[in-house]
Amino acid sequence: MNDRTAANDGWFAGLDPDDVAGASTAIREGRADTPADWPALAVESGFAADADEYYDRLHEATVAAAREQVQERERADDRQLVHAIRAMDDSRRTANELAERVAEWAGSRYDDADTGVEYARELAADSPDEEDEPLDPGAERLHALATRTADLADEADELERFVETAAHDVAPNLAAMAGPVLAARLISLAGGLDDLAKMPSSTVQVLGAEDALFAHLRGNAPSPKHGVIYTHEYVRGTSGGERGSAARAVAGKLTIAARVDHYSGERRSDLDAELDERIRTIRQRGDDE
Amino acid sequence: MTLPEGVERRGFDGTERLATRGEPVYGEPTDGEWRAWNPHRSKLGAMLELGLDTGLVGGENVLYLGAAAGTTVSHVADFAGPTYAVEFAARPMRDLLDAAESRPRLFPLLADARSPEEYAHVVEPVDVIVQDVATRGQATVATTNARFLREDGRLLMAVKARSEDVTRDPAAVFADALEELRGTYEILDSERLTPYHDDHLGVVARPLSEP
How far apart, in whole angstroms, are the C-alpha atoms of residue A16 and residue A20?
9
Residue from A1, A9, A25, A27 whose CB has the most chain B CBs within 10 Å, to mutate: A27
Phi/psi of residue A105, nearest 5 degrees = -65, -45
Q: How far is B134 from chain A (nearest CA, A)?
A: 9
Structure confidence at residue A78 as a pLDDT band (50, 70, 90): confident
| Domains identified in chain A and CATH numbers | 20-74 (no CATH), 78-163 (no CATH), 171-288 (1.10.246.90)
Range name among A50-54, A276-280, B162-166 with the lowest pLDDT average: B162-166
Using a CB-CB cut-off of 8 Å, the residues of chain A touching B69 are 267
Is B105's CB within 8 Å of A55's CB?
A: yes
Q: Where are the domains of chain B?
A: 39-207
| Per-residue pLDDT tens digits for A97-141 | 999 999 999 999 888 888 889 999 998 887 665 556 667 888 889
Is A237's CB within 8 Å of B166's CB?
A: yes
Helices and strands: H and E segment counts in chain B: 6, 11
Q: What is the mean pLDDT of the segment spanning B93-108? A: 94
Is A27's CB within 8 Å of B109's CB?
A: yes
For A247-283, b where at least 16 C-beta lie within 10 A, e where not — what string? bbbbbbbbbbbbbbbbeeeebbeebbeebbebbeebb
Structure confidence at residue A83 as a pLDDT band (50, 70, 90): very high
Q: Is residue A2's pLDDT more than 50?
A: no
- A287 by Cβ neighbours in 10 Å (0-12 / 13-18 / 19+) ranks as exposed
Using a CB-CB cut-off of 8 Å, the residues of chain B touching A169 are 89-91
Task: Read off the pTM.
Answer: 0.69
Range name among A98-107, B87-96, B123-132, B169-178 with the lowest pLDDT average: B87-96
| Per-residue pLDDT tens digits for B29-55 | 999 999 999 999 999 999 999 999 999
Residue A76: the pLDDT is 67
| Per-residue pLDDT tens digits for A133-190 | 667 888 889 999 999 999 999 999 999 999 998 998 899 999 999 999 999 999 999 9
Is residue B88 less than 8 Å (CB to CB) from chain A?
Answer: yes
Q: Is residue B204's pLDDT more than 70?
A: yes
Smallest Cβ–Cβ distance between A34 and the set B89, B96, B147 belongs to B147
Q: Which of residues 149 through 208 in chain B touch A, CB cutoff 8 A?
A: 162, 165-167
| Per-residue pLDDT tens digits for A197-226 | 999 999 999 999 888 888 888 888 888 888
Instruction: Report CA dihedral (B138, B139, B140, B144) to the nearest 10 degrees.
Output: 110
Domain B39-207 fold = Rossmann fold (3.40.50)
β-strand B149-160 against B185-192: which pairing, if any? unpaired
In this complex, how many residue pairs, one in chain A and one in chain B, have their CB atoms less than 8 Å apart? 108
Q: How far is A74 from chain B (nearest CA, A)?
A: 7
